[in-house]
């Protein structure tokens, strides 16, 4: 991976969106054949937790990438920078495992961030097997800008959509699910 392919692509792509039952329908009159394309029955799917959760997650990640297009940061990269900043002196294993990233998969991710001069690996003097992670000055600056973008463009949108108290309730319920389901 050279830069952030995921972020690059998402800005321009026209991926397969689920058909909107309202907009997707064609009037019977406007189709040239016999039967027009009626909207499909979802059969309760839109009341099922996993279905709606997955769709919401995809939408939110898409929006995140759009908001961060200028910084070329994916949600995962943002979370890594945030954790490295908040936890000075930690090594790769500690940062990765906290985020649920497997150590082998964390290597390429760090290679990417390091090649962009956003963070650096420093060999620990205590334990020369470990790489202590630190943000570079550029990394700190980018993260600061990223936080602002997330707060003002991304999270703010959720407030607009649900309102402050609903937003908090939503996050609380999702946290509960993430921790206890």
Smallest distance from the beta carbon of 94 to DNA, in angstroms? Answer: 7
Distances 84 to 17, 38, 76, 124, 163 between C-alpha atoms, Å:
35, 51, 12, 15, 31
Q: Is 102 in the site for DNA (CB under 7 A)?
A: yes
Contact 153, 71 (CB under 8 A): no
**Which of 73, 80, 81, 110 lies at the binding interface for DNA (CB under 7 A)?**
110
Cα(139)–Cα(84) distance, integer angstroms = 10
Q: Is 37 in the site for its own copies (CB under 8 A)?
A: yes
* Continuous H helices in the chain: 5-12, 49-67, 75-86, 92-98, 103-115, 137-149, 156-162, 164-180
Q: Is 13 in the site for DNA (CB under 7 A)?
A: yes
Q: Is 15 in the site for DNA (CB under 7 A)?
A: yes
Q: Is 69 in the site for its own copies (CB under 8 A)?
A: no
Q: Is 9 in the site for its own copies (CB under 8 A)?
A: no
Cα(113)–Cα(111) distance, integer angstroms = 6
Q: Is 60 in the site for DNA (CB under 7 A)?
A: no
Q: Is 134 in the site for its own copies (CB under 8 A)?
A: no
> Residue with structure tokens 């997330």?
150
> Residue with structure tokens 């692509």?
9
Stretch that binds its own copies, among 4-12, 117-125, 131-139, 155-163 (CB under 8 A): 155-163
Q: How many binding residues for its own copies (CB under 8 A)?
A: 69
Element (H, E) at 135: strand 131-135
Contact 158, 167 (CB under 8 A): yes
Q: Is 63 in the site for DNA (CB under 7 A)?
A: no
Structure tokens at 46: 């839109």
Task: Return residues touching its own copies (CB under 8 A).
Answer: 16-20, 24, 34, 37, 40-61, 63-64, 75, 79, 82-83, 85-87, 90, 94-95, 97-102, 126, 150, 154-155, 157-158, 161-162, 166, 169-171, 173-181
Task: Return residues touching DNA (CB under 7 A).
Answer: 1, 5-6, 13-16, 74, 76, 91-93, 100-107, 110, 121, 127-131
């Amino acid at each position: 991976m050279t830069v952030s392919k995921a972020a690059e692509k998402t800005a321009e792509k026209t991926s397969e969106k689920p058909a909107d039952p309202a907009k997707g329908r064609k009037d019977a009159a406007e189709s040239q054949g016999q039967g027009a394309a009626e909207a499909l029955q979802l059969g309760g799917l839109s009341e099922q937790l996993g279905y709606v959760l997955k769709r919401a997650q995809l939408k939110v990640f898409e929006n995140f990438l759009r908001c961060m297009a200028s910084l070329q940061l994916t949600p995962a990269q943002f979370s890594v920078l945030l954790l490295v900043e908040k936890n000075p002196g930690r090594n790769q294993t500690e940062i990765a495992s906290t985020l649920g990233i497997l150590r082998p998969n964390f290597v390429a991710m760090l290679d990417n961030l390091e090649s962009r001069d956003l963070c650096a690996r420093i060999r620990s003097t205590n334990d020369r097997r470990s790489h202590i992670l630190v943000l570079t000055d550029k990394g700190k600056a980018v993260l600061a800008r990223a936080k602002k973008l997330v707060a003002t463009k991304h999270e703010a949108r959720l407030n607009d959509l649900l309102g402050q108290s609903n937003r908090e309730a939503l996050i609380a319920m999702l946290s509960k699910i993430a921790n206890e389901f």
